[in-house]
Amino acid sequence: MTSRAEELARRLSTVHSEDPEIILRELVEHLRDTVRCQFGLYFKCVETRPGELYFTNAVTDGDRELRDALLAYADKPAVATPWLPPNLNRDEVNTFIRTSSRYDDDYLRNFSIASDVFEPLEVGDQIRILLYDGSRFLGWLGLMRRGRGEYFRRQEQQLLNQISGEIKSLVAMADALESNLLRDGLFAVLTPRGKIEHASKSFSTWRTPSRLDYLASRVRDADSGKGRLSIEIYEGAEIRLIRLDSTGMVRYLASVQRARVMTVTPGYWLTDRQQEIADYAVAGATSPEIADMLNLSPQTVKTHMKNIFRRLDINSRAELATLLTGD
């Protein structure tokens, strides 16, 4: 590890908080300061149901124009991007890569976020990492330089990759804190004007002025007929409003729970050959038996199994069986 990477790793080791947003904000600030760029962004995706993705938990630092443009996508259904399934490249996971923004590229033009944000604001280059824990998406972390012809240097990419393990650990820490915060489920009863009349004890750990303002506005909209009672995604939480109407007194129950984090099927991370070998292994075949059936050497099968474990972030055939069969 180079001295610059060691210094950055030391700085990241000082990031401590019980608030997951503070951890992510300080992480983005440290990375943006290290490579001297105009903008840093973190977000993750959650699912209200399988395949229905929402961008959420956005944390930004830097250029206000880019921030405003990208925050317009926060807590809304995810638009198609070249960086998430089904376009995700398996080999780009947990590794920083550079993406020069060539807007004459027909492939890039297929994505509205490129034509609506990156091209008009002249985002010249991005360096980004997709953080996964096995098949579970922890978050997208990116840094951007504005101006055509503005590019990140290979040395900057290499520097960030040297401390990618420390970065993933911080994101995983923030994710665990958020999970703990919403683990038991929270609820509050609000008046039609959005004032909290009663709340669960655990609700106080989640409430912030901005979250209370959001809940109050949702209740007022629903009560006036401007909004519908439906599941909403807000800052990584799934919020459900229920109208309570008895003896002429109307109240609204807001239940808050953690939204389901986006995942990809474990097989997505495997090559066709690896998937074939994994299927035989789950069925109970030994490495010599797999080698015989596929006309491979036992050593080749062992190498494939080692790579399968690495890609799926597991350590045993029992874990492999659980991932691939759910049993």
Q: Which pLDDT score is estimated for 73? A: 92
Q: Which pLDDT score is estimated for 113? A: 84
Each residue's pLDDT tens digit, 223-246: 998 877 778 899 889 999 999 987
Please report how the helices 298-312 and 317-325 are oriented relative to each other, as an axis angle in degrees rounded to 10.
60
DSSP letter, residue 235: T
- How far from 30 is each of 1, 83, 127, 285, CA to CA, in Å? 18, 23, 15, 48
Q: What single-letter amino acid sits at 38? A: Q
Q: What's the mean pLDDT when you consider all of the chain?
A: 88
Q: Which pLDDT score is estimated for 51? A: 73
Q: Please list, in sequence order, all residues whose beta carbon lies within 8 angstroms of the beta carbon of residue 111, skipping any fewer than 6 positions away.
A: 79, 80, 81, 82
Average pLDDT, integer, range 145-160: 90
Q: Which pLDDT score is estimated for 101? A: 55
What is the pLDDT confidence band of residue 44, given thresholds at 50, 70 and 90? very high
Each residue's pLDDT tens digit, 181-218: 887 779 999 999 999 999 998 898 898 999 999 999 99
In the beta sheet, which residues pair with residue 40? 61, 143
Whether the predicted pLDDT of 102 surpasses 70: no
| 155 vs 148, more confident | 155
Domains of the chain: 3-181 (3.30.450.40), 186-261 (3.30.450.20), 266-325 (1.10.10.10)
Decide: residue 219, CB within 10 A, 0-12 exposed, 13-18 middle, 19+ buried. Answer: buried
Q: Which pLDDT score is estimated for 192? A: 94
Per-position DSSP letters for 153-202, written without gaps between them: -HHHHHHHHHTHHHHHHHHHHHHHHHHHHTTT-EEEEE-TTS-EEEE-TT
Q: pLDDT above 90 covers what percent of the chain?
A: 58
Average pLDDT, integer, range 253-280: 88
Distance of alpha carbon 248 from alpha carbon 32, whole angstroms: 55
| 7 vs 89, more confident | 7
Q: What single-letter amino acid sits at 308? A: I
- The answer to whether the pTM exceeds 0.85 is no
